[in-house]
Amino acid sequence: METRELICTGCPLGCPLTVTLEPGGPVVKGHTCPRGEAYGRSEVLDPRRTVTSTAAVIGGRQARVPVKTAGAVPKDRIRDCMEAVRRLRVAAPVGLGDVLLPDCAGSGVALVATKTVERT
Q: According to CB under 6 A, which one of 36, 90, 104, 117 is a site residue for ligand SF4?
A: 36
Site string for other proteins, 14-53 (x = CB under 8 A): xxx--------------------------------xxxxx
Query: What is the torsional sign of CA 41, 42, 46, 47?
Result: negative
Q: Does 7 bind other proteins (CB under 8 A)?
A: yes
Closest to 19 measured CA to CA, from 7, 32, 31, 5: 5
46 to 16, 20, 81, 101, 102: CA distances (angstroms): 19, 15, 17, 23, 22
Q: Does 91 bind other proteins (CB under 8 A)?
A: no
Helix (H) or strand (E) holding 41: helix 34-45
Nearer to ligand SF4 (CB atom), residue 35 or residue 64: 35
Q: How far is the CB of 12 from ligand SF4 (least distance, A)?
A: 7
Q: According to CB under 6 A, which one of 6, 8, 57, 73 is a site residue for ligand SF4?
A: 8
Q: In angstroms, rounded to a whole number, what is the distance separating the alpha carbons of residues 58 and 11?
A: 36
Q: According to CB under 6 A, which one of 3, 22, 29, 33 is a site residue for ligand SF4?
A: 33
Residues ≥6 apart with Cβ < 8 Å to 11: 35
Nearer to other proteins (CB atom), residue 27 or residue 66: 66
Which residues are near ligand SF4 by CB under 6 A?
8, 10-11, 13-15, 31-33, 35-36, 39
